[in-house]
Structure 1
Amino acid sequence: MEPLMKHTGKVAVLNRINVDTDQIIPKQFLKRIERTGYGRFAFFDWRYLEDGKPNPKFELNQPEYEGASILIAGENFGCGSSREHAPWALGDYGFKIMIAPSFADIFHQNCFKNGMLPIRLPYKIWKGLLEQYEHQSRLLTVDLQEQMLTDDNGKQIPFEVDQHWREMLMNGYDEISLTLLLEDEIEQFENQRSTWLQV
């Protein structure tokens, strides 16, 4: 994975509570064997009309949100099924960072494991940020190293991320990368194990 330390991007707002993973990526699109290509199906039932045309009433179809890489979402975002395809779809759509008052636990972990940063903010702070960015094309800077959000007026909002996940994102590690950091110790153990088997 690519390291994620500091990112400035356009913000989109999806002010809906309890957005579940079946809305993020409907089950009929889970037949692919790759991790890529899911972005065009993200929010499919909300995003498109029955004739396949974009739904002009869907929040993320608004022109001011085109090219957004930061999503401000509602409470309990990513609830429902634990499918890892949900962060795959959001990442392929273009989102790197999501901000919400709360996330479903498994979805929250799956985001980190796939190189995305989910940020939990206290409700009042989240509400103020949402109102600031709703229906506007504006930028936000997310500094993971400093754990700080900075809007385009210079206002700063601190946030906290678990140290384990923070280190993983900042170094671009996935779980395989973490295992390979211990390659020397693993090789030493395997060498010792071969002598044990000879006894």
Structure 2
Amino acid sequence: MESAATDPLTYRDATDADVDELVALIESAYRGDASRAGWTTEADLLDGQRTDPQGVLEVIRTPDSRLLTVERDGRMVACCQLERRGEQAYFGMFAVSPALQGGGLGRAVIEEAERQVRESWGAREMHMTVITAREELIAWYERRGYRRTGRTSPFPYGDERFGIPRRPDLRFELLVKELG
């Protein structure tokens, strides 16, 4: 019998019916004590929410945007936002269930996301933004072929839809990968 770690993954676009489950998955990966089970937590940097039902619905319903859900044994285990931006695609809202982090699931999801935007949209580059203080996460993306650009943008201080910062120096940096 196959173990849960080797059961095949199923990829599909999210629907409105998935919103509550997606919000719970994303929150569990980034905020609060549950997120500390994985290594992608932002709990030391931000309090409050990571997303909300309206934010997830916007991604699902926006033209040229998809929220890719990843399931194993009928259970949602990961997700990511893919947005078409001309010859580039944007990768965001990436979440892997904290209990499953560190086992290669995140790598499989990002590889599938890159394949899909290259084949479906003809994207030549994948772009993403990462909080600059997340050095371990940035290093993980660099090992996957992403490069730091040095181009930063401010964190949206005062907009609690993105969380409540625990420090005053948060910024996002653009990471880019050529998809070939």
Flag the structure with more relative contact order, 1 or 2, with Cα contacts below 8 A and sequence separation at least 6.
1
Normalization by structure 2: what TM-score?
Answer: 0.31
Per residue, is there more helix in 1 or in 2?
A: 1
Per residue, is there more strand in 1 or in 2?
A: 2
Normalization by structure 1: what TM-score?
Answer: 0.29
